[in-house]
Amino acid sequence: MSEWNLQTLRELHDSPLMDLVFQAASVHRAHHNPNEVQMSSLLSIKTGGCPEDCGYCPQAARYHTGVESTGLMTVNQVKTAAERAKGLGSSRLCMGAAWRNVKDNAEFDHVLDLVRTVNDMGMEVCATLGMLTPNQAERLAAAGLYAYNHNLDTSEDYYKEVISTRGYQDRIDTIGNARKAGLTVCSGGIIGMGESVDDRLKMLLPLANLAPQPDSVPINTLVAVEGTPMEDQKPVSIFELVRMIAVTRILMPITTVRLSAGRTSMTAEGQALCFLAGAGSIFAGDKLLTTPNPEAFADLEMFSNLGLKPTAPYSNGHTPLQLRLPSCFLSAFLMRASSLAIRLRFSSTMVDSS
């Protein structure tokens, strides 16, 4: 358990911004390269028609948002998109499906093929497919999945105002299933849905209390989409976002804090403050899952102005199971080969001396 509670976290959150950012930047530098930011791309492999009622989501079938429902993308479509993303500097691809949960059917077998395809390209493969059973998590890990994204979204109290079709504990269970299968965990949430500052901090506490803490925490600002119950939410200010990123960084020092949805309305100066406060990744490419994201050239210009370099894949030392297996076999082979060589040398020494 971390030493933080809501009161100490709130004091930290409300401290003068310069002090907060300085403290967060110091923690960031102690554990991460402050001049590297990972570029990660999103790909909606199955869009729209979702049975859930998440109040922020343009892909829920019950809201009239103009998002068209599609079938699963083919291997070739995903390969082309992944090659484009890699060419623009992304070292990670996150594939999203508008599902409540994964089903054990031919579609899931196809997703496993998609995971293998992107893994073979040397990219970190992330997926966000809804709830997972332990066996499904294991099959994804065996196919080479590196990370699973499943957000808490908000505090347990405010969650009831946002989603009724899936419980908070269901989310915690899926995160546990992903982790037990050896997947790295990506879990965070959204600010700007009408929640209080305490709700934001109450979302961070259960994440910080996971042992170990999540490998990534995405901080999204709401993209208020017409037709969803949240269409009229007021945008959060950049300073609220910087405070949230800084508190996340201090609370979870090793975690990659991901500056996620909502960047189209931010200036490069605002984003620079987010990087200073500990954000270590952005979603790159002109589309998130269904909504717009800054153009690639704008991000390249921002990276150049700030002297930032895109992070290489697997830079935190983890590798997906599929990549770990050959190296396990290789080290077992090398150990056997060297013990054989020692035995041969030993027996030839015995022959020489006789």
Helix (H, G, I), strand (E, B) or coil at 38: strand
Does residue 236 belong to the site contacting ligand SAM (CB under 6 A)? no
Q: Cα 46 from chain centroid?
A: 18
**Cβ at position 166, least distance to ligand SAM in Å:** 8
CA angle 342, 345, 347 (to 5 degrees): 105
Q: Contact region for ligand DTB (CB under 6 A) — 163-171, 249-257, 285-293, 295-303?
A: 285-293
Among the listed residues 50, 94, 123, 140, the single contact to ligand DTB using CB under 6 A: 94
140 close to 112: Cβ distance less than 8 angstroms: yes
Chain positions 222 to 241 lying near ligand DTB, rule: CB under 6 A, are: 223
Helix (H, G, I), strand (E, B) or coil at 97: strand
Helix extents (H) in 307-354: 321-353
Does residue 78 belong to the site contacting ligand SF4 (CB under 6 A)? no
Q: Cα–Cα distance between 244 and 57 in angstroms, integer?
A: 21
Does residue 261 belong to the site contacting ligand SF4 (CB under 6 A)? no
For ligand SF4, the closer CB: 148 or 303: 148
Provide the angle, in degrees to the nearest 10, between the axes of the packed helices 321-353 and 106-119: 60
Q: Which does 177 bind (CB under 5 to 8 A by kind): ligand SF4, ligand SAM, ligand DTB, none?
A: none
Which of 171, 179, 258, 263 is catalytic? The answer is 258
Q: Which does 48 bind (CB under 5 to 8 A by kind): ligand SF4, ligand SAM, ligand DTB, none?
A: none
Judge whether 54 counts as a catalytic residue: yes
Does residue 42 belong to the site contacting ligand SAM (CB under 6 A)? no
Q: Contact region for ligand SAM (CB under 6 A) — 82-90, 104-112, 217-225, 247-255?
A: 217-225
Does residue 46 belong to the site contacting ligand SAM (CB under 6 A)? no
168 close to 54: Cβ distance less than 8 angstroms: no
**Cβ at position 90, least distance to ligand SF4 in Å:** 22
Judge whether 328 counts as a catalytic residue: no
Q: Cα–Cα distance between 344 and 102 in angstroms, integer?
A: 53
At residue 125, what are phi and psi to the nearest 5 degrees?
Answer: -105, 125
Site string for ligand SAM, 254-293 (x = CB under 6 A): -------x---------------------------x----
Using H for helix, E for strand and C for coil, what is the string for 103-161?
A: CCCHHHHHHHHHHHHHHCCCCEEEEECCECCHHHHHHHHHCCCCEEECCCECCHHHHHH
Judge whether 274 counts as a catalytic residue: no
Helix (H, G, I), strand (E, B) or coil at 269: helix
**Cβ at position 265, least distance to ligand SF4 in Å:** 21
Judge whether 50 counts as a catalytic residue: yes
Q: Cα–Cα distance between 99 and 128 in angstroms, integer?
A: 9
Q: Given its phi and psi angles, is residue 285 left (phi above 0), alpha (psi -120 to 50 degrees) or beta?
A: left
Give the residue among 79, 107, 112, 78 at the shortest CA–CA distance from 320: 112
Residue reference for tokens 């979302």:
203
Helix (H, G, I), strand (E, B) or coil at 88: coil
Chain positions 153 to 182 lying near ligand SAM, rule: CB under 6 A, are: 153
Does residue 203 belong to the site contacting ligand SF4 (CB under 6 A)? no
Binding site residues, ligand SAM, CB under 6 A: 56-57, 96, 98-99, 128, 130, 150-151, 153, 189-190, 220, 222-223, 225, 261, 289
Binding site residues, ligand SF4, CB under 6 A: 50, 52, 54, 57, 59-60, 98, 100, 130
Catalytic residues: 50, 54, 57, 94, 126, 186, 258
Binding site residues, ligand DTB, CB under 6 A: 42, 58, 94, 96, 128, 149, 151, 188, 218, 220, 223, 260-261, 288-291
